[in-house]
Copies of this chain bind each other. A is one copy, B any other.
Amino acid sequence: MSANLLKAKPKIINIGLAQFADTIRQSGAEAIHLDWTPPAQGDLTLNKILLELQDDYDQIEQANSQAIEKVLAAQPVWIDVGPALEMIPGFSENTVLHAGPPISWDQMCGPMKGGVIGGLIYEGRARNKEEALALAGSGRIEFAPNHHFGAVGPMSGIITASMPVIVVENQENGNRAYSNFNSENNRKALSFGAFDQDIQDILNWQRDVMAPMLGAAIRKIGGLDLKGIMARALQMGDECHNRHIASTSLLLKMLLPTLARLDLPGSRLAEFGDYLMQNDWFFLNFSMAACKAAMDAAHGFPHSTLVTAMARNGAQAGIRVSGLGEQWFTAPAPPVRGIMFPPFGEEDANPDMGDSTITETFGLGAFAMAAAPALVQLIGGKVADAIGFTKSMRQITMVENGSFSIPNLDFAGTPTGIDLRAVVETGIHPKINTGIAHRRPGYGIAGAGITEIPLSCFQEALKEFAKHHSARS
């Protein structure tokens, strides 16, 4: 054998950097390139942590299976609509909630400041941009992340006291989650930082016409199972983050008999119909609240490495982990690859923003990209790329969620439950679908695309997890 080995032309298997294989090939030898990176990108500290956590493998696995069971068993039901001040425990008249990890007023990005300005004008606390800026910087407003109040909001995520919110109860676990209503309309939206009179008109109409009507309907119905709508929508080209055409249409179909029986003037229902005609994202905020209700139930298992929140505030991206309490692990918010809506160009794009990544945290959005190949076209991709997105997310998640099956994967479940360890070990970033806000306040929607949560959030969280874990064990 060894004689043959010496005589034969060498076949070289190259592991890691592709250019080594190229060099070997240039020298005339055969080389097979294996696409491999060392665990944790070869970082010795992180490798040591991953190895040490192996010693407590069973304990962590047990905690993770308890946590993920909460995720899979979640029964998010839309039960009510009402003003944030009344619906969200701990909300005060001075509270202004925002997306992502904590951030001070002066550090906020342009579109988030735009959202705050719009919110304060809407509340009657300021008459114009200047008054709103003065009030926001006065110290009288209590800014806090939505996530600290069981809430989520897309993009800037601004929720103020009299804004109507969607109330979702996880009827398996008893916890509640909240979201504002979607305000996307002709490419302008408070959530994207616009705050002009058009936006005020929409917000006022939502408060005075839409919210009372939807609240009356949902209380009459006695609750609507959101998981079922999301599961059906996944069969219909939605991924429950950036596409909501199916879910929005299904929601309307399910509400209509009750809405009609409220016997309101026809014009009220007609206005709601008009609104939905130009808003195919209406269900997004329902989807987000449902995901939040599921993930909060899985939060707080001391030995669990399950990621329970990923969110961005337009300046920073951050994550929370089941076993790491209220702490955020942050990194600069990434840019978004995608398409810019004319007349805007890449220079207009704000970095990534919003709580909507709660959908990916729950295994939907980009994790379910195979269900919505239309979205991968935003970055010039094809169906195979969309399927590849979902398959790659299997490598960093704990289970497939049988409640959410993807036709294109022969009805396999969505990859669900991001394992902190797996992200650090493989270096695979969780992918996310998202909108792009204009970087200056007052402009609104500038594009849509795909991005990733930075790896360092997970690396820092793992270091902290190792500390907590060894202290507790």
User: Would you give the 0/1 interface string for A226-252, flagging 1 where the beta carbon is closer than 8 Å to chain B?
Assistant: 000000100111100000011011101
Q: How far is the CA of A257 from the CA of B257 in the complex (A)?
A: 15
Q: Considering only CB atoms, which chain B residue lies closest to A280 in the complex? A: B253
7 A–B contacts, CB within 8 A, in A order: A237-B237, A248-B253, A249-B252, A257-B277, A258-B270, A260-B267, A263-B266
User: Would you give the 0/1 interface string for A411-423, flagging 1 where the beta carbon is closer than 8 Å to chain B?
Assistant: 1000000000000
Q: Considering only CB atoms, which chain B residue lies closest to A382 in the complex? A: B410
Q: How far is the CA of A440 from the CA of B374 in the complex (A)?
A: 45
Contacts A261-B266, A407-B373 hold; do A253 and B236 have CB atoms under 8 A apart?
A: no
B contact residues around A261 at 8 Å (CB)? 266-267, 270
| Distance of A212 from chain B, by nearest CB (Å) | 16
Interface membership of A58, Cβ < 8 A:
no
Q: Contact check, A236 vs B245: say whether CB atoms are below 8 A apart.
A: yes
Q: Considering only CB atoms, which chain B residue lies closest to A257 in the complex? A: B273
Within 8 A of B (CB), among A393-429: 407-411
Q: Contact check, B373 vs A408: say whether CB atoms are below 8 A apart.
A: yes
Q: Contact check, B260 vs A273: say whether CB atoms are below 8 A apart.
A: yes
Interface membership of A13, Cβ < 8 A:
no
B contact residues around A260 at 8 Å (CB)? 266-270, 272-273
Q: Considering only CB atoms, which chain B residue lies closest to A267 in the complex? A: B261
Interface membership of A262, Cβ < 8 A:
yes
Number of this chain's copies in the complex: 2
Interface membership of A455, Cβ < 8 A:
no
Interface membership of A254, Cβ < 8 A:
yes
Q: Considering only CB atoms, which chain B residue lies closest to A246 in the complex? A: B236
Interface membership of A103, Cβ < 8 A:
no
Q: How far is the CA of A423 from the CA of B263 in the complex (A)?
A: 56
| Distance of A239 from chain B, by nearest CB (Å) | 12
B contact residues around A411 at 8 Å (CB)? 377
Within 8 A of B (CB), among A28-84: none
B contact residues around A277 at 8 Å (CB)? 253-254, 257
B contact residues around A258 at 8 Å (CB)? 270
Q: Which of B249, B264, B383, B407 contacts A250 (CB 8 A)?
A: B249
Interface membership of A274, Cβ < 8 A:
yes
Interface membership of A276, Cβ < 8 A:
yes
B contact residues around A259 at 8 Å (CB)? 273
| Distance of A254 from chain B, by nearest CB (Å) | 7
Contacts A246-B236, A383-B410, A408-B408 hold; do A253 and B266 have CB atoms under 8 A apart?
A: no
B contact residues around A373 at 8 Å (CB)? 407-408, 410
Q: Which of B252, B264, B266, B374 contacts A235 (CB 8 A)?
A: B374
Interface membership of A15, Cβ < 8 A:
no
B contact residues around A409 at 8 Å (CB)? 383
